[in-house]
Amino acid sequence: MKILLIGKTGQLGWELARSLAPLGELTAVDRRALDLADVASIAAAVRGVRPQLIVNAAAFTAVDRAQAESAAAHTVNAAAPGILAREARALGAALVHFSTDYVFSGDKSGAYVEDDRAAPASVYGQSKLAGEQAVSASGVAHLILRTSWVYAARGSNFLLTMLRLARTKAELAVVADQFGAPTWARMIAEATALVIARCGGTPQAILDTLGRCGGVYHLSAAGRTSWHGFAEAIMQEAGLAAKVRAIATAEYPLPAPRPANSLLATGKIEQQFGISLPRWEMGLKLCVEELGLRTRQNGVSREPVR
């Protein structure tokens, strides 16, 4: 099977390049080879590879910058996925695309299910929702995986920001009234590869399975915490002494509004594909260990993605 992975240098793309490699002939590209901001070049780039499966891990993820650069955000997050979907359908290929908890307003008291009404409050969320809709409307056999609070040992993310700040500051002020489930990029990548394998592993089996039961699925770690709780756990796991002070969202204004509740219910993917991720604390322990800030002697025992 020929697989085209877009966005190989991102925090999720880097992990996907390793998880997808055993499934077939993998072509992993970065912006130099396929730039989603240049929509006129997308079709030719895809046709040059002629993949049987496209996995799109590229996105405009600068949430606050998107407020001022809405056209750029919509080009990458909405128009480009639509083109990828149309090209995939024309080639008889399937498409895996990643989306976000930001498609929801965050007003719900419990975890969001896939059929809950999307009402994004930010330009970033609006552009990602438009991308979902473009993929769905194309008629391609597809899988859209919504995830939340993604972090990794590389890239730009909350974990690395907290570790950097904690080395120079005695106290960190972190929002305590936004809730979600921090999700390690490696577990998302492994779960993605597992879903593809459980579709049958061959191009035709994937097309048949995703044509029958594809669509939107939520994929995030189990459990619940706030950004403040996540930051405290980071300090503890990394053995850093910085104090984490709880503040309200109103005390840390940003250009783009964030959902107060980012919890995603994952029962659908568990029922359909038998996939579940461990609690968020396990992913954090393993990622911190990868960074060299934690050792096996601390008792890490990995619960695998299954």
Q: What are phi and psi of 267, to 5 degrees?
A: -65, -30
**Residue 166: helix, strand or coil by DSSP?**
helix
**CA-closest candidate to residue 232, choices 224, 241, 223:** 241
Query: What is the strand order of the sheet 215-218 is part of?
Result: 25-29, 2-6, 53-56, 94-100, 142-147, 215-218
**Residue 109: helix, strand or coil by DSSP?**
coil
Question: Are residues 238 and 284 in contact, defined by beta-carbon separation less than 8 angstroms?
Answer: no
Contacts of 176 (CB under 8 A, 6+ apart): 226, 227, 228, 229, 246, 247, 248
Q: Tell me the residue length of the chain.
A: 306
Has 112 been annotated as catalytic?
A: no
What are the structure tokens assigned to 199, written together?
A: 């579709």
Residue 112's DSSP bridge partners are 264
Residue in the structure block whose two tokens are 């989306």: 99
- In the set 124, 151, 217, 252, the catalytic residue is 124
Kindly provide the residue ranges of all beta strands, DSSP E only, lying in the chain, ordered along the sequence.
2-6, 25-29, 53-56, 94-100, 142-147, 150-151, 171-175, 179-180, 183-184, 215-218, 225-226, 243-247
**Residues catalogued as catalytic:** 124
